[in-house]
Structure 1
């Protein structure tokens, strides 16, 4: 089985930093008040660009999701093609290498990136110290990774891992150089500028990996592809950010950044354990075949549900940070965001749960049919997960990332026992255990959110219920339809389920959340009108 599919899950670093999904009906332009506008203007001057406005969360989320969709689609293409060239063992070895590398990757800047986004001081004061810290921490993390590569290889019983990890450690050091320009783009809400580095990096990785795999480089094709992507993305991030400053170290600023970043780093380490405990338990107790089925099942809802949460979170955290001193506006912004995210994740998750069998057969082939029941449960798990995910954006935005550390520590303590017990039975039982613990996790996060911000259960339920009231009947319709058309070819069955699901959901949403549909429809019409107007002007002006 292709254990290497787990590498995609490890890319969800944003999850561990406490970002969480939310959604909103319609985003108004988010403007910083008071000193923040001065800081942004000064930052633009320091960066040599125009003063960045604070665009709407919704528009920037769409840019961020476009970036995600393009990069992940190329990654998916790479996996499908390379899987037919490399052996499952080679994928498994690389997955183990990535597992080790990501432990260091999650902490390579000790939270400096998040601190640079959250901190409202003048960018010209923060950036030089932030760059110095990120470079020093990145070199330290990559050096330790390279030094302990042999130890990790011995523990995991794969001698080939030593050199693989050391090559990937080079990429880790290089990617640390992109921390500051990437943070500037997030801080200034300029997510459209991230399109080039992310997409070109993904294309570089895909093209080089496929080419090297076809040339017989084996597992090293994956390593070299990832290293090349790190180099390309780092160069392009500096180019599109237009920031120019040198290295310097201001003691008070450094302490301020580290003081915020360390709790965020603690969250990442805890989340690293949380996101891997099920993999470790399944692999240890059930073996490679069950682990392969489990990772393949997890990959689909990860790409279409969990990654959506990460995409929204990057934008939402930046927006909420600008509202940190206005709790009423921050809470309203969060609840609006929660509605929009729920309007996407609930129907997608429920649809995946119902259509799991044709989805698995169409994407992976009938030989992976045992992944379908696991996918159904994990799809529901991701829906519950997404409902509380963006609460972490609120905790970080108001300067309380330590709350996430405490919550995640509790979750890990609760998760280990049920997951280990379930892994003694089947991978499907592990999925059920994960879902049960996530329900408890949702209740804890929402309780803490209520305590910190006064957001009542009624407000949260109202934000979630409007899309859920349309998604639940949609799920029942699809369940009935699936029983009728289950004899059709899997791709055709999947296509019919998708079409019917979208139509039924949109029709029902017009009654349960009419303002949401109206806003979305209006946004699409404005975008089409603007595009048509631009094309007409170009025709009139001529070449």
Structure 2
């Protein structure tokens, strides 16, 4: 459903864009994507740590304001067209070329618009000093538009090894340029120039790996064929991106640049490890689920297994981070960022919900219900804006708790609706996670006791962090090994051990 065969005079060309997938193929795709995500998130976190050591919270807030605009503008350049290429059963050159030139024109328009409105947007965010950075980051809209179709084709044909290489190159260049400029004293421009260099390399790499080139064909009729799905997908993605940036907008306007800088550091500390896993699973699962959209039993099994892998890693990472937040922030960032500790403690559990939600969102999108995702995105934005604005009177912690409340209330409802598309109950979907939740709780208790005990003996925060993290890792690994959870086998397959045996 949601992507019938495209009729075209160039129908034969569509076959070159199709690829079959099986369990080993999905495992290999997950392996490649995991590698790229780990390196990408490590690079971003590394740059953030270096900048946090060199910049004040106020300066970091200026960078964060510029990145808010860049992320939203970049999302707008796609307009849901990448999802169309991945989700449809067949695509051809006319459709691809039409989508490419549409993206390019839109990217140029958004780039020019961003440059023209950089000053007013910076003022609206309460960070006038961010205007130069916003103008420079406008180039991302054009660079991203040039590479959208090529990245989508890599995902459609399950060439995640090549996609991983492209993303790793992006992360490497971004990190090297950003950290190098930071040490050279470039300040906020370290992150700006690093981001631009990384996106340029990513686009160039995608063109290198994908043989397809746009031809001088542009068909409004073909665009209209995919318009409904594309627009709904765009609005759902755009609203998701806006919701992800909404907390920063509220903080920037209501609490100022220093608070925004502190919040951004806390959020990146939480999101980097979470994204490394959830982005891997959602990226691969959407492509795999789209190929099995007429097989509900396979989708049910795939959703449970994907969520198991996510929970296996994200649960202990986020709970452990929340338990050891004070030691981690002080050791990694320094005493000037101490205000980020309670924010990390609140956002870490929220990240668990977001990670699990990424799997069910892939189910909804693969089944062609981008309209449902759009409506849910709208609900998150409307409710989130009201709640976080009301909670901003209690500072950073209030906004964080408001965000947590919105996710706790709305996420289960969205999951339930997504799972109804494949005939699965929410309780059936979540039940396999219960053993991991109990094991993670035991791990958290061990980590907290180890860190606290080390502190009572007079050790500093570095030793407390090492003791707590080490004890937690050992306890979690021992419990997981003892109970032999199915998710461990799936994780092994992703890492390649079982893929070589079978």
* Equivalent position of 2:233 in the other structure: 264
CA contact (8 A) 2:19 2:156 kept: no
Look up the SS of the partner of 1:56 in the other structure: helix
Distance in 2, Cα, partners of 1:255 & 1:118: 16
> Post-superposition shift, 1:244?
3.5
Distance in 2, Cα, partners of 1:501 & 1:463: 22
Please state if 1:167 is matched with 2:128. Answer: no
Please state if 1:116 is matched with 2:85. Answer: yes
Q: Where does 1:381-396 land on structure 2 (aligned, <5 Å)?
A: 381-396=350-365
Distance in 2, Cα, partners of 1:93 & 1:322: 43
Change (3 A) 1:416 1:477: same
Q: Where does 1:166-245 land on structure 2 (aligned, <5 Å)?
A: 166-215=135-184, 217-245=186-214
* Equivalent position of 1:536 in the other structure: none
Distance in 1, Cα, partners of 2:290 & 2:174: 33
Change (3 A) 1:110 1:436: same
Change (3 A) 1:365 1:394: same
Distance in 2, Cα, partners of 1:246 & 1:334: 38
Among 119, 122, 126, the alignment partner of 2:95 is: 126
How big is each residue's C-alpha offset from its partner over 1:254-294, in whole Å with a ceiling of 9 and x where there is no partner?
Answer: 12333211112212332233223322333333333333332
Change (3 A) 1:236 1:298: same
Q: How many residues align?
A: 491
Distance in 2, Cα, partners of 1:442 & 1:153: 32
Distance in 1, Cα, partners of 2:238 & 2:492: 41
Change (3 A) 1:157 1:345: closer
Give the TM-score of the pair, scaled to structure 1. 0.82
* Equivalent position of 1:541 in the other structure: none
Among 457, 460, 463, the alignment partner of 1:492 is: 463
Distance in 2, Cα, partners of 1:472 & 1:386: 18
Distance in 2, Cα, partners of 1:159 & 1:290: 15
> Post-superposition shift, 1:319?
0.5
Please state if 1:253 is matched with 2:253. Answer: no
CA contact (8 A) 1:114 1:261 kept: yes
Distance in 2, Cα, partners of 1:214 & 1:111: 38
Among 292, 295, 300, the alignment partner of 1:326 is: 295
> Post-superposition shift, 1:214?
4.7
Distance in 2, Cα, partners of 1:528 & 1:448: 33
Change (3 A) 1:93 1:116: same
* Equivalent position of 1:65 in the other structure: 34
Change (3 A) 1:219 1:283: closer
How big is each residue's C-alpha offset from its partner over 1:403-422, in whole Å with a ceiling of 9 and x where there is no partner?
Answer: 11111222222223332222
Among 486, 502, 505, the alignment partner of 2:476 is: 505
CA contact (8 A) 1:469 1:512 kept: no
* Equivalent position of 1:447 in the other structure: 416
Among 95, 103, 124, the alignment partner of 2:64 is: 95
Look up the SS of the partner of 2:76 in the other structure: coil
* Equivalent position of 2:379 in the other structure: 410
Change (3 A) 1:59 1:463: farther
How big is each residue's C-alpha offset from its partner over 1:472-517, in whole Å with a ceiling of 9 and x where there is no partner?
Answer: 2222222333321224232332222222222222222245453333
Among 326, 337, 340, the alignment partner of 1:371 is: 340
* Equivalent position of 1:469 in the other structure: 438
Change (3 A) 1:322 1:490: same
Distance in 2, Cα, partners of 1:480 & 1:43: 62
> Post-superposition shift, 1:307?
4.3
CA contact (8 A) 1:46 1:124 kept: no
Distance in 1, Cα, partners of 2:193 & 2:407: 37
- Give unpaired runs (5+ residues) of structure 2: none
Q: Which moved more, 1:307-316 or 1:273-282?
A: 273-282
Give the superposed CA RMSD: 2.9
Q: Which has the higher helix share?
A: 2
Please state if 1:401 is matched with 2:370. Answer: yes
How big is each residue's C-alpha offset from its partner over 1:142-169, in whole Å with a ceiling of 9 and x where there is no partner?
Answer: 2322232243245446555444333322
Distance in 2, Cα, partners of 1:502 & 1:466: 17
* Equivalent position of 2:255 in the other structure: 286
> Post-superposition shift, 1:384?
2.3
